[in-house]
Structure 1
Amino acid sequence: MPHDHHHHHHPEVDLAGDRRVAAAVGVNILLTVVQIVAGLFSGSLALIADAVHNLSDALSLVIAFAARRIARRPADADMTFGYGRAEVVAALINYVTLIVIALWLAVEGVGRFLNPVEVEGWTVVIVAGVALVVDLVTAALILRLSHDSMNIRAAFLHNVADAMGSVAVVVGGTLILLYGWWIVDPIITLLISGYILWHSWQGIGPVIRVLMLGSPDSPRIDEVAHTLCSADGVADVHALHLWRVQEHRVALQAHVVIEDTAGMDVVRADLKALLEDRFGITHSSLELEGPGAACHDRALIGSG
């Protein structure tokens, strides 16, 4: 069974997905405006924190929308691998932006501890309740798209985080109403900030790995090397490079020492078919070498 799945663009599916992303952007921007106005009116920093996070989600969806369209462009002389990595770059921008926002919220939350401000609890509870509904609607709109794109998946997880933040703000507003605990507001702000940082740290790693041409988690490079070395007519494999061109496309480059140069073309075709059938690798560059013409540097990885 191939370890990698190939995702082809279907115009009708792409158009429907674009409409879902556009709808998600619209409701998040509207919610952000309402939350910021309500936060300023009520004096709730936690509500403004939730609004800023919602705004970041709306902006991330705008970037995702643009990246989806760019990614569909065919390969050309400038981008010979195509434009699929536009979504990976967009995901990196989104995560870095989230980290900056989370740090800003943390600073503001600490400031509120030092200079407490009275908060209007009813406004906080009502607006955060509306925000929770909008977050869930947004998550539902992009749930299906999130399965195939790390960029959309990041936006989806952000909305889930927003929903959790809204629940926390509702709880905080309720405690303010019942007990007058104003200190709850900056505490919740710091919790939201901490959660955004944790979530961003978890998400940015795989994005950087793709951009750094890191090998995929599956297939593993030792598994691929063993499969190539075990193939008929192959004596050795070295200068092996395995990386993700984009999220769902793995590429391979290797020097292969063959036992008999007379069957070179057959061996190459068989190896390419093996890589596609076993691992789903459709882009492979194999340099075949005879036993007497092999490279002096025979390191498996890091040469060639």
Structure 2
Amino acid sequence: MAHHHHHHGSEAGDRRMIWAIGVNLALTLAQIAGGILSGSLSLIADALHNFSDAASLVIAAFARRIARRPSDATMTFGYVRAEVVAALINYTTLIVIGLYLVYEAVMRFITPEPIEGWIVVGVAVVALLIDLVTALLTYTMSKESMNIRAAFVHNVADALGSVGVIIAGTLILLYDWQIVDPIVTLAIAGYILWQAFAEIGGAIRMLMLGTPPDVDVAQLIERLCGIEGVTDIHHVHVFAIDERLTAMEAHVVVAEGHGETADAVRNRLKQIANAEFGIAHSTLELTIGRSCCEAGEAKVIGHRTGRSAGTDGSNGHQH
């Protein structure tokens, strides 16, 4: 029953993504037509910016579909990280767009360009409405997925761009305040860069097999070492397979007298890792008897193996 519910949820999400892509592509075509009719280069430029939004949604939707593929011989972890790769691509393009907007704003301060009439403001209002529709279509999914969140931020950035055009265009047409345009552009660029840099670190961390920020590895080792029968835990690696699944690998040494209860010890360790640290997938190698490490090194993460490792000037071998 749960499987079918998830499947229907995925299909509903896919439909929302298709609608979001469709309305953004329609807006892009409308902006290009409006730009040609009004002779407005800025409107055509905004159409190209909006096309980058549609492209970000296409990347997000494509990655979403790939991520649902089952694992196979070539991808034993499955394809779930396709969404993380898509998020990295979309946040990177956001940073490029943000930096380009900063450049454009600075150039506008130096050489102001006139706004090309009410048609630009009118199309910006339509663009804002489309952006709001897209935001509504993707908002719920953005809470659960780094991938969709990246596309959502693209969309919010574009909505802010439309608001900026409306505010700046109206003030310039009514009061001839040319300085408003680059000021608003800088504010939007600042928001885009702030959001992109705040989010891109999570995608990079996951792709580099970094420990999830909510897991304290030292505390985890301390807690697991306190279980009866456990004398040593080392070679500990904690990493996120995707946004919802955290995994752990570790070598556990069980005391001599607990050989017969080794499976019970393993199950207890997995239970604690899951319940207290949110680690749902644990691969634990158990050894009975003496540790391969010296006592002082037992709890060191990725410890140096052997008694004299690292004494030759090297930094030892990290597992």
User: How high is the TM-score relative to the length of structure 2?
Assistant: 0.84
CA contact (8 A) 1:28 1:58 kept: yes
For 1:162, give the aligned amino acid. Answer: D
The 1-side partners of 2:232 and 2:225 are apart by 6
RMSD: 2.5
Tell me which of 24, 27, 45 is aligned to 2:20.
24
Q: What letter is aligned with 1:300?
A: V
- Return 5+ residue gaps in structure 2 as ranges: 304-318
**Cα distance change of structure 1 residues 257 and 225 upon mapping to structure 2, 3 Å threshold:** same
2:122 equivalent to 1:118: no
Task: Say which of 183, 187, 195 aligns to 1:187.
Answer: 183
Q: Distance in 1 between matches of 2:278 and 2:112?
A: 58
State the 4+ residue runs in structure 1 displaced beyond 6 angstroms. none
Deviations 1:218-260 (A, max 9, x none): 2322332232122222123222111101111101011222223
Residues 1:162 and 2:162 aligned together = no
**Residue 231 in structure 1 maps to residue 231 in structure 2:** no
Identify the residue that residue 75 of structure 2 maps to in structure 1: 79
- Number of matched pairs: 298
Report the Cα offset of residue 77 of structure 1.
1.0
- Matched to 1:302, the amino acid is G
Cα distance in 1 for partners of 2:161, 2:227 equals 54
- Larger radius of gyration, structure 1 or 2? 2
Which of 135-144 and 263-272 deviates more?
Answer: 263-272
Residue 142 of structure 1 deviates from its aligned partner by 1.2
Give the alignment's TM-score, normalised by structure 1: 0.88
Q: Deviations for 1:173-194, whole angstroms, at most 9, x for unmatched residues?
A: 1101111223333333333223
1:173 match: 169
If asked which structure has higher relative contact order (CA below 8 Å, sep 6+), I would say: 1
Equivalent of 2:240, from 240, 244, 247? 244
Aligned letter for 1:273?
A: Q
Alpha-carbon distance, 1:128 to partner:
1.4
Of the candidates 265, 268, 292, which is equivalent to residue 266 of structure 2?
A: 268
Q: Provide the identity percentage.
A: 56
Q: SS in structure 2 opposite 1:246? A: coil
Question: Aligned AA for 1:253?
Answer: E
Q: In the superposition, relative to structure 1, how do residues 271 and 129 fare at CA in structure 2: closer, same or farther (>3 Å)?
A: same
Tell me which residue corresponds to 2:311: none
CA shift, 1:42, in A, is 6.0
Which one of 202, 206, 216 corresponds to residue 206 of structure 1?
Answer: 202
Structure 1 portions without partners, runs of 5+: 1-6
- Structure 1 181/37 Cα, relative in aligned 2: closer, same or farther at 3 Å? farther
Instruction: Confirm or deny that 1:90 pairs with 2:86.
Output: yes
How big is each residue's C-alpha offset from its partner over 1:10-59, in whole Å with a ceiling of 9 and x where there is no partner? Answer: 221111111100110111122233334545636474x5665444322211
